[in-house]
Structure 1
């Protein structure tokens, strides 16, 4: 630990511009502060402060050194704080937001299980399809689906989802089976929150504008419409997989299926993420069943 000697004293003097004030801040003698600074300057072969009887001011080299040392001390404080909090049971309020249908069906059960493990936590979850500003609204994290917009948020991939175009056997019997993307315009494509469907053709992403007689901002509502033979849908696997397995819905255009998309936990880009948030993100990453 020799390289750490004098760092705390140096930072204290740099910030207070006084050996005496630094000694009071650190609860050590002024002489000890002076000795540590002198030893540090000798070790670095660099003058860190200009000293007069009336003033202490930092040198140019000292200013550069201070920026790095301040980060080191902040990192040390943060490491100790994390360890201290991890030794305690997570408690206090934890606020998150998630898309409505996915949140109700997939996120809520995971949160309930997490609450059973940590009953001292007060979890508040808002299900909404609106993208909320986490910092302005005071949320700890958000669950987002699919491609992420560029943002200042940190992102952790929790799971993946696969999009399927499918329809009921009844609909396909009445209207035929599409084999090419261009044939979609001949079909009733039931619309969700987007006016286009996503595909991949010859290694390139393709967004195909679709039209249909029904539009829902609800996955379960679109599944119900498809099962009743009202048209084609494009939906993630967690809505349609059981129906594909039972053949009540038939997958279509599989040669154009896009790459799997991410299911993400987003949180503000801070140097320090509270243990309760980190623990929830890790728990969801392990237990989110898609």
Structure 2
């Protein structure tokens, strides 16, 4: 079949699971999408969707047809990117996602610097602590922190981070310093998303349940509380590095500190890694701060 009208609309409806969602994605009216799909069904001589007022379901024929169409459209997109890459200066859009705090503190300032070098690029960045489906949502790149789940994505390590248990000198003067994990039970431990802190003991990962009178999903709020002598915190280095270097916070239980975690760039295997994306990955790898293993961190004694 040489007539490809309606194929993009068909694929968009399958992926959005609705004609309305497909229309929004393509920037068309719902009527236009419906008309193109209907004409495609007529040309194929096959029904592609079961439609009700509440739901759109693909037929068995459509499920098979979608796989072929998706492959063809991906190939066309790769071909267009390859042509674009022949340009002397990187251009076009890069769509990426990153965790909120790490994205605000570390990723986006570097992306903004990168844009100053290549002003013909366009960046679409969504910061979220939810794990997005980068294939389904057409992301070029995802920045993830920590241990990765098994996936079909390619992972490139950009940097690393460490978690630090720390408290202010004021708190330690008043309540003393814990020397073992068991002693945390007698301290006010300020927690975020989890009541379990992670440590490394006898070459094994260990989690310890801690309690305290502040539970907040903001790392900055927990840092502020620790600086005011309210308790002990465990947070990644990018929250506390400046305070540790100045001695406003002191590290605790360093012998139990878990190994550093990777900071990763993930991207689809089946997508052409364009020069603009290679440039961005190299820029991030060259400029993202590494863990604080060599920084002037002050430990409590």
Mark yes or no: TM-score above 0.5: yes
Residue 132 of structure 1 aligns to a residue in which SS?
coil
Q: 1:216 deviation in Å?
A: 2.3
- Does residue 89 in structure 1 map to residue 89 in structure 2? yes
Residue 245 of structure 1 aligns to a residue in which SS?
helix
Q: 1:87 deviation in Å?
A: 4.9
Q: 1:146 deviation in Å?
A: 1.3
Measured on the aligned residues, the alpha-carbon RMSD in Å equals 2.2
Superposition map of 1:139-178 within 5 A: 139-178=139-178
Superposition map of 1:89-128 within 5 A: 89-128=89-128
Unaligned runs of 5+ in 2: 1-77, 291-301
TM-score (ref. length: structure 1): 0.69
Q: 1:289 deviation in Å?
A: 2.7
Q: How many residues align?
A: 214
Structure 2 match to 1:277: 277
Q: 1:204 deviation in Å?
A: 0.8
Structure 2 match to 1:135: 135
CA distance in 2, matches of 1:179, 1:217: 27
Q: 1:286 deviation in Å?
A: 0.6
Residue 223 of structure 2 aligns to a residue in which SS?
helix
The 1:92/1:82 distance shift into structure 2, 3 A limit, reads: closer
Structure 1 match to 2:197: 197
- Runs of 4+ aligned residues of structure 1 deviating over 6 Å after TM superposition are none
The 1:209/1:127 distance shift into structure 2, 3 A limit, reads: same
Q: Is the 8 A contact 1:101 1:218 kept in 2?
A: no
CA distance in 1, matches of 2:187, 2:274: 50
Q: Is the 8 A contact 1:82 1:275 kept in 2?
A: no
Q: 1:112 deviation in Å?
A: 0.6
CA distance in 1, matches of 2:158, 2:131: 18
CA distance in 2, matches of 1:82, 1:93: 14
Pair member with larger Rg: 1
